[in-house]
Amino acid sequence: RNHGYTGSYSAVRRILLGLKAERGVPATTILEFAPAEAAQVDFGAGPVLAHESGAQLKTWFFVMTLCWSRHQYVELVLDQTVETWLACHRRAFEWFGGCPGRIIIDNAKCAITKACMYSPEVQRSYAALAEGYDFRIDACPPHDPQKKGIVESGVKYVKKSFMPLRTFRDLTDANRQLREWIMQQASTREHGTTREQPLARFAVEKPLLTTLPDVAPVLAVWSEVKVHTDGHIVYRKALYSVPFTLVGKSLWLKSTDTVVQLFHRHELVATHPRLRKPGDRHTVRDHQPPAAQAWLEHDPQWCLARAKEIGPSCHALVLAMFNDTVLVNLRGAQGIVRMREKFGDQRLDAACERALAFASPKYRTVKTILDKGLDSQPAAAAAQTSAAPADTYLNGGRFGRDLHSLLLH
HEC per residue, 174-197: HHHHHHHHHHHHHCCCCCCCCCCC
Cα dihedral 168, 170, 175, 180 sign = negative
Domain boundaries, position 187: 38-208
**Percentage, residues of the chain above pLDDT 90:** 75
Domain boundary among 241, 257, 289: 289
Q: Are residues 266 and 302 located together in one domain of the fold?
A: no
- How high is the pLDDT of residue 387? 43
pLDDT above 90 for 227 = yes
pLDDT above 70 for 386 = no
Q: Are residues 149 and 184 located together in one domain of the fold?
A: yes
Cα dihedral 80, 83, 85, 90 sign = negative
Res. 393 pLDDT band, cuts 50 70 90: very low
Q: Are residues 376 and 339 located together in one domain of the fold?
A: yes
- How high is the pLDDT of residue 135? 97
Q: Are residues 317 and 390 located together in one domain of the fold?
A: yes
pLDDT above 70 for 402 = no
Q: Are residues 363 and 401 located together in one domain of the fold?
A: yes
User: Does residue 12 sit within a domain?
Assistant: no
Q: Are residues 353 and 377 located together in one domain of the fold?
A: yes
User: Does residue 214 sit within a domain?
Assistant: no
- How high is the pLDDT of residue 407? 35
User: Does residue 88 sit within a domain?
Assistant: yes
User: Does residue 3 sit within a domain?
Assistant: no
Domain boundary among 208, 237, 268: 208
User: Does residue 355 sit within a domain?
Assistant: yes
pLDDT above 50 for 27 = yes
294 vs 257, more confident? 257
Q: How far apart are CA 311 and CA 359, in angstroms?
A: 18
Q: How far apart are CA 3 and CA 5, in angstroms?
A: 6
Q: List Cβ neighbours of 336 (8 Å cut-off, separation of 6 or more).
A: 307, 314, 317, 318, 321, 348, 352, 363, 366
The enclosing H or E element of 80 equals none
User: Does residue 9 sit within a domain?
Assistant: no
User: Does residue 81 sit within a domain?
Assistant: yes
Q: What is the mean pLDDT of residues 373-390?
A: 62
- How high is the pLDDT of residue 55? 85
- How high is the pLDDT of residue 268? 96
- How high is the pLDDT of residue 405? 45
User: Does residue 374 sit within a domain?
Assistant: yes
Q: What is the mean pLDDT of residues 83-109?
A: 95
Res. 379 pLDDT band, cuts 50 70 90: low
CATH assignment of the domain containing 135: 3.30.420.10
DSSP 31: P
Res. 73 pLDDT band, cuts 50 70 90: very high
Tell me the C-alpha to C-alpha distance, in Å, between residue 343 and each of 86, 295, 365, 368.
Answer: 64, 22, 15, 12
Angle 69-74-76 from CA coordinates, rounded to 5°: 170
What is the value of pTM for the model shown? 0.72
Q: Are residues 100 and 196 located together in one domain of the fold?
A: yes
Q: Are residues 202 and 242 located together in one domain of the fold?
A: no
Domain boundary among 234, 269, 289: 289
Report the Cα 381 to chain-centroid distance in Å: 65
- How high is the pLDDT of residue 155? 94
Q: Within 10 A of 331 (CB to CB), how many other CB atoms are there?
A: 12
Q: Are residues 43 and 166 located together in one domain of the fold?
A: yes
With beta carbons less than 8 A apart as the criterion, state whether 3 and 12 touch: no
Q: At what angle do helices 340-357 and 300-310 cross, to 10 degrees?
A: 90
- How high is the pLDDT of residue 147? 84
pLDDT above 80 for 396 = no
- How high is the pLDDT of residue 385? 47
With beta carbons less than 8 A apart as the criterion, state whether 262 and 273 touch: no
pLDDT single digits (tens) 113-165: 999 989 999 999 999 999 999 999 999 998 887 788 999 999 999 999 999 98
pLDDT above 60 for 204 = yes
Q: Could you give the number of structural domains in the chain?
A: 3
Q: What is the mean pLDDT of residues 235-251?
A: 95
pLDDT above 70 for 392 = no
Report the Cα 249 to chain-centroid distance in Å: 17
Report the Cα 323 to chain-centroid distance in Å: 43
Length of the chain: 409
- How high is the pLDDT of residue 397? 46
Coil, strand, or helix at residue 261? strand
Cα dihedral 140, 142, 144, 150 sign = positive
Cα dihedral 341, 343, 345, 348 sign = negative
Q: Are residues 192 and 266 located together in one domain of the fold?
A: no
Burial class for 406, CB neighbours closer than 10 Å (0-12, 13-18, 19+): exposed
pLDDT single digits (tens) 171-194: 999 999 999 999 999 999 999 999
- Pairing mode of beta strands 238-241, 281-282: parallel
Contacts 24+ apart (CB under 8 A), 242-250: 242/269, 242/270, 242/287, 243/269, 243/270, 243/286, 243/287, 244/287, 244/288, 244/289, 244/292, 250/224, 250/225, 250/226
- How high is the pLDDT of residue 375? 85
Q: At what angle do helices 312-322 and 330-338 cross, to 10 degrees?
A: 160
Res. 406 pLDDT band, cuts 50 70 90: very low
Q: Are residues 62 and 135 located together in one domain of the fold?
A: yes
pLDDT single digits (tens) 310-353: 999 999 999 999 999 899 999 999 999 999 999 999 999 999 99
Q: Are residues 89 and 141 located together in one domain of the fold?
A: yes
Q: How far apart are CA 306 and CA 298, in angstroms?
A: 10
